[in-house]
A and B are shown apart, each in its own frame.
Chain A
């Protein structure tokens, strides 16, 4: 299972890469593996405001339809439009292919997210369930 060190993770299996005052959001390798073949990604509108934990995108795989939640509060300033035509990119490389970019408002919310090490332990627990 691939869990890059430099990212932060949520219990709902999103990652965020902090880059100055914005964050790139995607889903983890664990998430894409468990979802199976992804067939559709519903991207958010640009400029919508989200709170940490708000659903902002939807991923449909052959197994299930899942919501994607924002790890931080802020404004969605960019979406990865490549996913509209090629949803399989999320399976192929879930870390290279972000879903959206959030201009976050409160970096202290990051404290509630998991480090790579914590997230790996969390996934191991999830698998035991």
Chain B
């Protein structure tokens, strides 16, 4: 085990010296009331610079990201983040500006935001975008708040419920709940798609809308999307698109054309910006024109060749983020779109779908595949057979993958599939890389039959084996004590 930084404390080891003050000392420091001042200095470990660097370098080697290897985390779209994105985000014209600067001095940055909104609109078939939300769930909240504002503006206060399929990402019901809706679950049918009869039965004048991911978390395209849209719209509700799986349709078809009224995107998924470790993310939200008045303010405007902010938006749901969103992330996503272009986006989508189907076809026979037909960018397999044969669970297989050098897929999700493993390779993986992953999965399937203990006791090669999740959840220790 690596020592904690606190355990590396050696009194006096930190000999770092600040230079003498060459400006007048700030006045006012003595004005803080004494009861607000701490009496003892904070417990900051004393470590020399080289030991500090070694500590964090050692930790960084333990991290695993898409730059280390294959990372098929379903629904997370862990695609490679091109380094040109970093070059662009570090251009001094972007890094040396401040959000409080006058708009006329930051025209380039505003133009980028304005153009980005338009490009995302073109990709999704929506009329207007806000780039403020900080990540996906924040985008969902922004979108659902606009749906609520729309119904309220019409004096339609009866709509207190939001529909969500049982295969949805957990953030969907959570979002609806946070915005104040009662969540109604819509069943999936035997094909893994929205059960149209259940949807019809539950749609009413008390329902504000339906939150839908298309393709859904099983990687299956909602073929009845136009009927779904008609049922929701005829009932007076709005249709919300969770953009988690946009990589599956990007450049090929558009949520706006399917009848969606509100869309959120995850730039940190579909548009190749950093993802793990907090990103930070970016969750732009697009709306059809009839919802534009409710967009968060300020809205970026263009008059002639001048870009600026419009704060005069009386029906706006207000600001949802300080300043204008995670600007550096938006620059990276903008760079990605400009670098690959129209055809590149479509090609990325098609390669992602091809890679997913390639994996699916090669895992057939070794693993149970509940919906074994053409999928989009991801698919779900189950360890049901391994479980029945030798009590080898999905968790065991995921842990065993660590021994083979892979980040495991998403497990135990979606909830409607037992022993689920949700695999999303993304477009950036080569056939050779996919083949080596298939080989590892085949080996594990064989081990599960011939030598189940080696799987059940995995991982064998990592610094820490199985984490005691039960004790961690029941009696968490959340701070270090000497």
Contacts and interface: CB of A to CB of B under 8 A. Distances in A.
Interface stretch (B11-19, B274-282, B466-474): B466-474
Interface string B164-175: 000000100000
Contacts, number: 19
Interface in B463-482: 469-470, 473-474
Interface in B420-474: 469-470, 473-474
Contacts of A129: 418
B412 A87 contact: no
Interface residues of A, number: 11
A60 B474 CA distance: 10
B474 A39 contact: yes
A53 B423 CA distance: 34
B473 A39 contact: yes
B53 interface: no
A63 B474 contact: no
Could you say which interface size class chain B belongs to?
under 10
Contacts of A39: 470, 473-474
Interface string A29-69: 00000000101100000000000000000001011110000
A88 interface: yes
Contacts of A63: 412
A18 B380 CA distance: 41
A88 B474 contact: yes
Contact of B469 (A62, A64, A88): A62
A64 B473 CA distance: 12
A62 B418 contact: no
B415 A87 contact: no
19 contacts: A37-B469, A37-B470, A37-B473, A39-B470, A39-B473, A39-B474, A40-B473, A40-B474, A60-B473, A62-B469, A62-B470, A62-B473, A63-B412, A64-B412, A64-B415, A65-B170, A87-B474, A88-B474, A129-B418
Nearest to B470: A37
Contacts of B415: 64
A60 B415 CA distance: 14
A88 B470 CA distance: 10
A107 to B, nearest CB: 27
A27 to B, nearest CB: 16
Given A37-B469, A88-B474, 4 more contacts: A39-B474, A60-B473, A62-B469, A64-B412
